[in-house]
Every structure is written in structure tokens, then in C-alpha cells.
Structure 1
Amino acid sequence: MLRLLTIEFHKLRHNKASRVLSIIYFGLLTSIALIAAIKFDIGVIQFHLADAGIFNFPYIWHFNTYMAAILKFFLLLVIVSMMANEYSYKTLKQNLIDGLSKKEFILSKFYTVIVFAAVSTIFVFVVSMILGLIYSDYNEIGIIFSDLDYLFAFFLKLVGFFSFGLFFGILIKRSAFAVGAMLVWWIIEGIIWLLLMYSYRDISSSTERFSQVEVFTQFLPFTAMGNLITEPFTRLGAVKSLANAAGETINKSYDIDIMSIIVVSVWTFFFIYWSYILLKKRDL
């Protein structure tokens, strides 16, 4: 494993675009801390975002992993360009000539995906811990280290997403088209969702209609990844108070869904397996 990772990071170290994108990505992850500086001062209305409780333990684990997951696109570009460069610079063929098997080649890419996801997760943990210790109203050990399962969900989400990008990178061989293909698939899932919503139009309750659609869409890759970490905003006390004042009640589960974990894990396996099958059958 170490030998394969050494080969991959040697390639990345000499790729300027990958270095720049990686720096931008981790720089943006750090910029989550800037949210604490956001203040609104409009007449008598004074609002400091950090005082709204977004950095309270254990809520911060949910909020920061959700926000950080939005930035995963930058590392996706590194993953797909990493694969496209193998074809452009003929390094794939050279690696195979030098004795690397196709299975080892795919594993080297998958190990790189895992390392990127793990480093991102550790980075978010450190940033969240620092912000929480500074701004959180709750600093008891039991509270600080509760809800850490959001970090696991974040890690799994990145591994699944990057594996998807790796598969398209091998399938299409061009980074721009690979990213475009992922965007098209995301649109297809949206169309499927709309068609299912239309097919259940006779159900008067929107909540029940959403539940029926979710029965099918939860097995789609992007939807399953999205379901790993639900939006955290309606979990805030201020948002719930506004909803109650408007006569609405927010009844929503924010727990990590075990089904989503299983579905994303299965998709990740297939993305890597299909990548290997493609490479195995392809004439290089």
C-alpha cells in the first residue's frame, strides 16, 4: 500500500494544477472559520452568526461537515485530472510496463482517494474543535465528543464521491468530460425525482409524497451521498422558534441513516470494481 501511495503522490507532487486545487480546497475548508466573523448591524438589529449557536458542541460537527462537503468539487477535479493525465502523459502504460499490475494501479488510485478523504476529515475535525472550544457554550467532554458520527459520514461521502469521479475519469479519459458526465448524472437523478413526484401527484400530503419518492431515490448514488448528512439549518433553535411562531412544526430526523451508509458503501465498491473491469478489458 505504501509503495502504491508513494507512486501516486510522486505524480501529484509534479502536477502544478493538482497542487493549486488542493491548496484552494484546504484553504476554503479553513475559511469556514470566517463564518464566525460575520456580523449584521442594521439599526437596532445586531446579529453575530457565531452567537446563533452554529459553533456549539455537538451541533458544530453537523454544521461543519455539511458545509465542508459542499467544497468537495475542488478535490474531485484533482481526482479526475489525475486519471486523465495517466492517459495524456502515457504514465499508465509506462507503469504497467514497469511491472505494476492493473489491479495495483486501480488500488493505488483508490488508496489516494481514501487518503484525500481521511486528510479532509482530520482537517475538518481540527478546525471544528478549535472553533468549538472558542465559541461553544457547552464544553463538557461528553458533549464535545458526541455526534462524531458526522465525521464518519463526511469521510464516507468523500470516498464515494471521489470513487464516482475516478470511475468516470477512467471511462471517459478526459477530466472536463468526466466532470461533465457527473453533472449530467446529477441532472438525471433530479429528473427521476421530478418524474416520481409527478407519478405520486394524487397524494395530497407533501410529506407522504416525499416519503414515497425517497423509497426509490435513496438508492441513487448522489441522493444516497446527500442523505448521509442532512441539512443542519432547521436544527437550530432560532429556526425552530421562527417555525413555531409561524405555526409550523419541524419534525425531522438528523441522525446518520444506516441505509445511506450501506448504499454509498455498495456504490463505492461498484465504482472501483467497474474501474478495474474497464481497465482490464481496455487495450492500452
Structure 2
Amino acid sequence: MKRLLSIELQKLWQNRASRILILTYFILLSSIALISSINFKFIGVDFRLADMGIYNFPFIWHFNTYMAAMLKFFLAIIIVSMMANEYSNGTLKQNLIDGLNKKEFIMSKFLTVVLFALISTVYIFILTLILGYSFSSYNETEIVFMDLEYIFAYFLKLTAFFSFCLFLGILVKRSAFALGFLFVWFIFECILIYMVRIPKMIYDLLPLEAMYRLISQPFTRFKLYQNIESQVSGATEIRDYEVHLSTIITVSVWIVIFMLMSYKILKKRDL
């Protein structure tokens, strides 16, 4: 495993565009901390998000993982480009000639995907602890680590999304077309859900929708939002913010499907 991973990391680090994207991604992740210093004006009232409970434990785990997951497209570009370069540079064929079989090749890509997701998760975990202890009104240990399931959901969400991107990179071969296919698939799921209106039990199984539902939006948990909602409608809507086991299973199954399909395509393809 170490040998397979070192091969992929060496390829990525030798690519200048990949290095820039990776560094940009982690710089943008760090920008979550800047939200604390931004002042907003709403209905004539000035306020700072950090003073609204956005960084309070345990809510901060939900907020930070949701916001960080929105930046996953930067690493998605690296994943699809990683596969496109294998075809365009002939390194895939050379690796196979040098003794790496197709199963090991797919495994090396998947290990890279998992490593990206893991490093990103550890980074967000540390950043969240720093921000939480700096701004949170609650620092009791049992409260600090209350909603850690969002960290696991974030890791699983990234792993699944990057596995999907890896599959598309193998299927389409060209990074631009792979990213285009990803966008088309997103539109396809939206059409099925909001226009065709397929049953919920079916659209919950769609890959991108399942990944999205791992970490639901956190904004309606803001006290400011709930106060406005109660003033407008007279009541606050009860919403579900939990990380559900059924969604975890669905996303995990999709990871397996993406990797098996990637291997099947590569196995049958004449290189």
C-alpha cells in the first residue's frame, strides 16, 4: 500500500497545476476562520457571525464540515486531471509495463482519494477545535465532542465524491469532459427530484443526493433565523439535522460501486 501511494503522490507533486490546486484548497479551507471577523448588516442591525453562536460547540462541527464540503470541487479537479494525465502522458501504460497490474493501479488511485479525504478531515478537525475554543461559549468536554459524527460524515462525503470523480476520469479519459459529465449528472438528479418528482425513497438513493444528505444545511439552526421564522409564521419548523445510518450505508455502497465499475472499465479497456 505504501508503495502504491508513494507512486501517486510523486506524480501529483511533480505536476505544477496539482500543487497549486492543493495549496489553494487548503488556503480556502482556512478562510472559514475569516468568517468570524466579517461584520454583516441585516435590517439595519450590524452583527458579527462569531457573536451569533456560529462557533459555539457543538454546532461548529456541523457548520464547518458543511462549509468545507462546498470546496471539494478543487480536489475534484485534481482527481479527474490525475486520470486524464495517465492517458495523455502514457504513464498508465508504462506503469502496467513496469509490473503494476490493473487492480493495483485502481487501488493506488483509491488510496490517494482516501488520503485526500483523510488529510482534509484532520485539517477541518483541528481548525474547528481552534475556532471553537477561541469563540465558543461552551468549552465543557462532553459538549465539545458531542456532534463528532459530522466529522465522520465529512470524511465519507469526500471519499464518495472523489471516488465518483475518479470513476468519471476513467470512464471519459479527459478531465474537461469528466467535469462536464459530473455537472450533467447533477442536473439529471435535479430534474428527477424537482421536475419528475420521483418518490423520496428512490431519490434518496441517488449518489449526489445521498452525499448531500450526509450533512444537511446548518443555517436554519441559527437562533437569528429561528427568531425571524417564528415572528413571520408564528412557529419554528422542526427540521432533521442528524447524520443517519441509512445515508451512511447508501454512500458507502456507492463508493464500492464506483471503485468496482472503475476496475471493470479499466480491465476491459484496451490500453
CA distance in 2: counterparts of 1:234 and 1:194, whole angstroms: 21
Give, in whole Å, the separation in 2 of the partners of 1:255 and 1:244. 22
Rounded to whole Å, the distance in 2 between the matches of 1:95 and 1:89 is: 11
Offset of residue 244 of structure 1? 1.1
How many angstroms apart in 1 are the aligned matches of 2:268 and 2:42? 64
| Kept in 2: contact 1:38–1:49 (CA 8 A) | yes
Partner of 2:220: 234
Partner of 1:170: 170
Unaligned ranges ≥5, structure 2: none
Identity of aligned residues (%): 56
Query: Runs of at least 4 residues of structure 1 off by over 2 A?
Result: 40-46, 194-197
Matches within 5 A, 1:125-274: 125-197=125-197, 213-246=199-232, 247-274=234-261
1:56 paired residue number: 56
* Structure 1 residue ranges without an equivalent (≥5): 200-212
CA 215–75 in structure 1, closer or farther in 2 if over 3 Å, else same = same
Structure 2 residue identity aligned to 1:85: N
Q: 1:44 to 1:166 in 2, by over 3 A?
A: closer
Amino acid at match of 2:124: V
Relative to structure 1, the CA distance from residue 102 to residue 127 in structure 2 (aligned partners, 3 Å threshold; closer, same or farther) is same
**TM-score when scaled to structure 1?**
0.93
What does residue 110 of structure 2 align with? 110
Post-superposition offset of 1:253:
1.1
CA 1:39–1:277: 2 relative to 1, 3 Å = same
Distance 2:213 2:31 in 1: 25
Q: Deviation at 1:169?
A: 0.2
Superposition pairs for residues 270-281 of structure 1, below 5 Å? 270-281=257-268
- Structure-to-structure mapping, 1:75-86, within 5 angstroms: 75-86=75-86
Q: Summarize deviations over 1:118-150 as a string: whole Å, max 9, x none.
A: 000001111111100100000001100110000
Q: In the aligned structure 1, how far is the partner of 2:161 from the partner of 2:64? A: 18
The Cα shift of 1:107 comes to 0.2
Farther off after superposition, 43-52 or 99-108: 43-52
Q: TM-score, normalised by structure 2?
A: 0.97
Question: Residue 28 of structure 1 corresponds to which residue in structure 2?
Answer: 28
What residue in structure 2 maps to residue 121 of structure 1? 121
CA contact (8 A) 1:234 1:250 kept: no
Could you say if the C-alpha distance between residues 241 and 43 of structure 1 is closer, same or farther in structure 2, counting changes exceeding 3 Å?
closer
Aligned CA distance change for structure 1 residues 41 and 70 (closer, same or farther; 3 Å): closer
Q: CA RMSD in A?
A: 1.3
Partners of 1:181 and 1:123 in 2: how far apart?
30
**Whole-angstrom distance in 2 between the partners of 1:177 and 1:149:** 35
DSSP 3-state at the match of 2:40: strand
Counterparts of 2:43 and 2:212, CA distance in 1:
39
- Could you tell me how far 1:41 is from its partner in structure 2? 5.8
Matching residue's letter, 2:65: T
Q: CA deviation at 1:245?
A: 1.2
SS at match of 1:47: strand
Change (3 A) 1:37 1:214: same
